[in-house]
Amino acid sequence: MTRLSKPLFIRMHASDNVAIVANDGGLKAGTVFADGLQLCEQVPQGHKLALIDLPKGSAVRRYNVAIGYALKDIPAGSWVHERLLEMPTARTLDNLPLATLRPEPMAPLAGYTFEGYRNADGTVGTRNILAITTTVQCVAGVVDFAVKRIKAELLPRFPNVDDVVGLEHSYGCGVAIDAPDAIIPIRTLRNITLNPNFGGEVMVVSLGCEKLQPERLFPPGTIAIVDERHAPDVGHNVDAPLDVVCLQSENHIGFMSMIDAIMATALVHLERLNARRRETVPASALVVGVQCGGSDAFSGVTANPAVGFATDLLVRAGATVMFSETTEVRDGIDQLTARASTPEIAQAMIREMAWYDAYLHKGLVDRSANTTPGNKKGGLSNIVEKAMGSIVKSGSAPISGVLSPGEKLRQKGLMQGLIYAATPASDFICGTLQLAAGMNLHVFTTGRGTPYGLAEVPVIKVATRTDLARRWHDLMDINAGRIADGDASIADVGWELFHLMLEVASGRKKTWAEHWKLHNALVLFNPAPVT
C-alpha cells in the first residue's frame, strides 16, 4: 500500500465541474494541484472541490450529471458540500427511453468453473446448510435453543453439512395477512426457504395459532417447484407432507418434548444433506446479489466500478447478477430503461419505480430520505450523487429481467444475465430479498464500513478506501481503495473479485464475515399494515 505523496483529485467525467479529494486525511487550504488549481479551504478526503468558479444557480456536475445547483457563488478551489447545493427534483416516469441503447454484445467468457452443490431444480448451492423455517416470531426462542443443541450434538456427525440456520423473522402474526401487499413478506419467506444453499430440504417450526399457517406459507405445489428433479434419489419427496413441528400440538408435554421433536426432524434432513458432494459446475451457476451500504464518495469511484467490471465478467460467463436498491437507482432511471433489452423490461422497471414512489409518498417522504449522516460525512451530498455511484455496480450489460420484491428468479424463467431485483436500499432488507430471489453469493461494498454478514450465503465485502481496509483488515475481503491510490486499475480489482468469488463459492476460501460468524437478521419487507 502506498500513501499518496502528491495532492490528487479524481474527476469522473470530462464535463464534470467538481472532483473529489483522493488523499487520506484530506487536503489543507493553500494546497496546489499539478494543474495549478489551489484550494481556498480545507477539503476532507472524498469530498468535492470546485474545479472552476460556479456561479449561483449553476449546475454542479459529477458523473456527467447535475447532482445539484449552487445556492451561492462558489469560487474555484472551494469545498462543495451539501449545504451549498439544491437537490434536483426527481425525473418523472413519463416519456422515458425504452430499450434504446442496444449495447454491443459482450464476448462470452468460457472456461471458468467452481465446485458447488447441484440441486435437483437446476440451481447450485455454494454452501450446504440445513435451514429451519419458522412461520412466526413466537417460536424464535425455541428454534434458537434447538439450533444450538443441533450444532453441538448433531452437526459434528455430518461433516459435509456446513451449518444449521433458524430462519427467524418478525412476521407471521399480528399482521393484516389478507392485505394485498402481504404477498411480499409471505413469498419472501417461502422463497428464502427454497434458496439453493438449503438443498431443497424443507422443515418448518410452527406455533399453531398464528395467522401464517404452514399451509399458507407453502400452498400445494410450492414445494413441488423445488422438486422438478431429475435425480429422485436425493432430497425431498414431492408427495411427502410438509415436515412441520407444531409447538401447540397436544403431543408435546413440556419444553424438552418440543426440542426433541425439532432435533429428530432435523436429523432426517441432516442425513440427506450430508450425502451430497461438491461437483465442478460452470461459473454460469453463480447467482450473485450486489449491494452497497455505508457508502462514501469513493464508493462510486473505486469499489462500485470494480464490482461493475466483475458484473460484466459474470454476465459474459453466463451467470446471473442482481442489482437492487430502488431509491438508489431512481435518479438514474433514464439510463436504466435505455439499457433494458426490451421495451417490456423497461416498462417493468418503470412499474417498480412508480410503486416505490407511491410507497414513499404514503409516508410523506421521497427518495431523498435515503441518505444517512455517514453518507454526507463521507462526501455524498445527496441521493442524486449517491445514486450515480451506486448504479455503476450494474456494469454495462443490457438489463434482461426485473423481479418484484420477494419474487424468485427461476419462477420467472430468469436464469442468466443482469437482473434488476426491486428492493429497498436498506442493507438487511435488500439482502433478505436477494436471498429470496435465489442468490448463492453476495458482494457488498462499503466506504464508511459495515460488518454486515448473512448466515445463509457468503458475503464478500469490498472496501472503497485503503484507510478503511487498513483499519478493518480482518473484516474487509478486498481493498478497492488501491484504485484511488494509483496501485491498481478498476480491471485489476474486478478480476481479483471475480477469482475470489469462484474460490469462495467453491468453499476453498471463507469470507471474513463467515470466519467471525457475523450474521445479520433476516428482515422481511412488509409494506402491509400490522394489527
CB of residue 328 vs Ca ion: minimum separation in angstroms? Answer: 7
Q: Does 485 bind Ca ion (CB under 5 A)?
A: no
E-assigned strands of 352-416? Answer: 399-403
Q: How many residues bind Ca ion (CB under 5 A)?
A: 4
Helix, strand and coil in the chain, % to nearest 5: 35, 20, 45
Q: Which residue is nearest to Ca ion (CB)?
A: 293
The one-character DSSP state at 154 is: I
**For Ca ion, what does the binding mask look like between residues 251 and 290, x meaning CB under 5 A?**
----------------------------------------
Pick 195 or 327: Cβ nearer Ca ion: 327
DSSP 3-state assignment of 185?
A: helix
For Ca ion, give the closer residue by CB, 380 or 425. 425
Residues 170-189: x where in contact with Ca ion by CB under 5 A, - otherwise, as a string: --------------------
Q: Helix, strand, or coil here: 479? A: strand
The length of the chain in residues reads: 531
Neighbouring C-beta atoms of residue 312, cutoff 10 Å:
20
The Cα–Cα gap between 440 and 123 comes to 9
Chain positions 370 to 429 lying near Ca ion, rule: CB under 5 A, are: 425, 427
> Coil, strand, or helix at residue 234?
coil
C-alpha span between 60 and 65 (Å, rounded): 8
- Which parts of 452-471 interact with Ca ion (CB under 5 A)? none
- Considering beta carbons, is residue 194 or 433 the nearer one to Ca ion? 433
One-letter amino acid for residue 199 of the chain: G
Do 521 and 503 contact (CB within 8 A), yes or no? no
Residues near 213 by beta carbon (within 8 Å), at least 6 away in sequence: 135, 206
Smallest distance, Ca ion to C-beta of residue 258, A: 37
Taking the complex as a whole, the smallest distance from the CB of residue 166 to Ca ion amounts, in Å, to 24
User: Does residue 210 bind Ca ion (CB under 5 A)?
Assistant: no
Specify whether the CB–CB gap between 435 and 455 falls below 8 A.
no
* Shortest Å distance, C-beta 84 to Ca ion: 26
Using rule CB under 5 A, residue 293 touches Ca ion: yes
Pick from 429, 499, 409, 528: which is nearest to 109 by CA?
499
**What distance in Å separates the CA atoms of residue 306 and residue 298, rounded to the nearest whole number?**
12
**Nearest distance from residue 452's CB to Ca ion, in Å?**
9
Least distance in angstroms from the C-beta of 325 to Ca ion: 5
For Ca ion, the closer CB: 31 or 434: 434
Stretch that binds Ca ion, among 93-101, 219-227, 292-300, 492-500 (CB under 5 A): 292-300
Angle 344-350-352 (CA atoms, 0-180°, nearest 5)? 105
Cα separation of 308 and 497, whole Å? 11
Taking the C-alpha atoms of residue 54 and residue 68, their distance in angstroms, rounded to an integer, is 11
Nearer to Ca ion, 214 or 332 (CB): 332
Per-residue binding string, Ca ion, 422-441, x by CB under 5 A, is ---x-x--------------
CA torsion sign, 284 to 286 to 292 to 298? negative
Interface region with Ca ion, contact rule CB under 5 A, candidates 136-144, 145-153, 291-299, 373-381: 291-299
- Closest distance between Ca ion and the C-beta of residue 217, in Å? 27
Closer to Ca ion by Cβ: residue 415 or 429: 429
Q: Which of 259/310 has CB closer to Ca ion?
A: 310
Nearest to Ca ion of 261, 523 (CB atom): 523
Whether residue 348 contacts residue 331, with contact meaning beta carbons closer than 8 Å, is answered with no
Question: Number of helices (H) and strands (E), helices first, in the chain?
Answer: 16, 21
Shortest Cβ 297–Ca ion spacing (Å) = 16
Q: Which is nearer to Ca ion, 177 or 425 (CB)?
A: 425
Compute the least distance from the CB of residue 326 to Ca ion, in Å. Answer: 11
Contact 165, 280 (CB under 8 A): no
Site string for Ca ion, 15-44 (x = CB under 5 A): ------------------------------
Written as nine digits, the cell of 39 is 484550494
CB of 431 to Ca ion, least distance (A): 8
Beta carbon nearer to Ca ion, 400 or 445: 445
**Residue closer to Ca ion, measured from CB, 114 or 452:** 452
Q: Cell numbers of 512, please?
A: 471474513
Task: Give me the least distance between CB of 227 and Ca ion, in Å please.
Answer: 34
Return residues touching Ca ion (CB under 5 A). Answer: 291, 293, 425, 427
